Amino acid sequence: MKLYIIRHGETKWNREGRMQGWLDSELTKEAEMKAKNLHEKLKPKRFDKVYSSDLNRAINTAKLVSGFSNEKIIKKRELREIELGKWQGMLFKDIKKEYPKLLDIYFNDSENYNPADSENFCDLYNRINKFLEEIKDLNDKNILIVTHGVTMIAILNIIRGIGIKDFWNMEVPDGLTPVIYKYEDDKFELLDTDL
């Protein structure tokens, strides 16, 4: 089975520098065009299933990339972005000013990031592990997974055996750039992502 994992396309809030978390923002027109272009490149793969976060920015990306109808897309709460509490909807520059210590813990001491009003990285890993266990037994050939930046890092970290301590070992992936893994004999193998 091959997993095509992508982050949703750029949203208006991404462009403004706002943290989204579980709040939503529309895809930009450029993101919609890029998703349609990716659809043409991936069309020969013929996805057996399409999984998406249940947030609209991911669902709309999944529809454009896969060509699947809304009803055929399997919406999973487990694939949502990390919940960010009061940071949701705030500009990143304002978070840096108002919450410098907590933001430092978020990026540099992820194991100890545990605010009262949002999700921590252990919660995120637990729900991603639940999702990955659910799909491991599928007999499908090609699966598209559309998620969010921090959640995509969590998926890739879990697949590669990287714990929360080293969570930020990579940048947040660009939207609509697939990372492709083959899952066979209870192992994940990174495949060439050149489409």
The catalytic residue among 10, 78, 81, 119 is: 81
Give pLDDT tens digits for 85-143: 999 999 999 999 999 999 999 999 999 999 999 999 999 999 999 999 999 999 999 99
Residue 178 CB contacts under 8 Å (≥ 6 apart), including other chains: 4, 5, 6, 38, 42, 193, 195
Q: What percent of the chain has pLDDT over 90?
A: 96
What would the pLDDT profile of 52-94 be if each residue is shown by its tens digit?
A: 999 999 999 999 999 999 999 999 999 999 999 999 999 999 9
Predicted confidence band of residue 195 (pLDDT cuts 50, 70, 90) = low
Structure confidence by residue, pLDDT tens digits, 14-37: 999 999 999 999 999 999 999 999
Give catalytic status of residue 8 as yes or no.
yes
Q: Quick: pLDDT tens for 148-175.
A: 999 999 999 999 999 999 999 999 989 9
The answer to whether the beta carbons of residues 42 and 187 sit under 8 Å apart is no
pLDDT surpassing 80 at residue 189: yes
Q: 92, 96, 61, 87: which is closest to 75 by C-alpha? A: 61
* Residue of 28, 20, 29 whose CA lies nearest to 53: 20
The predicted model scores a pTM of 0.96
Give me the pLDDT at residue 194, please.
63
Tell me the pLDDT band of 192, cut-offs 50, 70 and 90.
confident
Does 111 qualify as catalytic in the annotation?
no
Active-site residue identified among 8, 10, 78, 148? 8
Whether the Cβ atoms of residue 54 and residue 79 lie closer than 8 Å to each other: yes
- Separation between Cα atoms, residue 175 and residue 57, nearest integer Å: 11
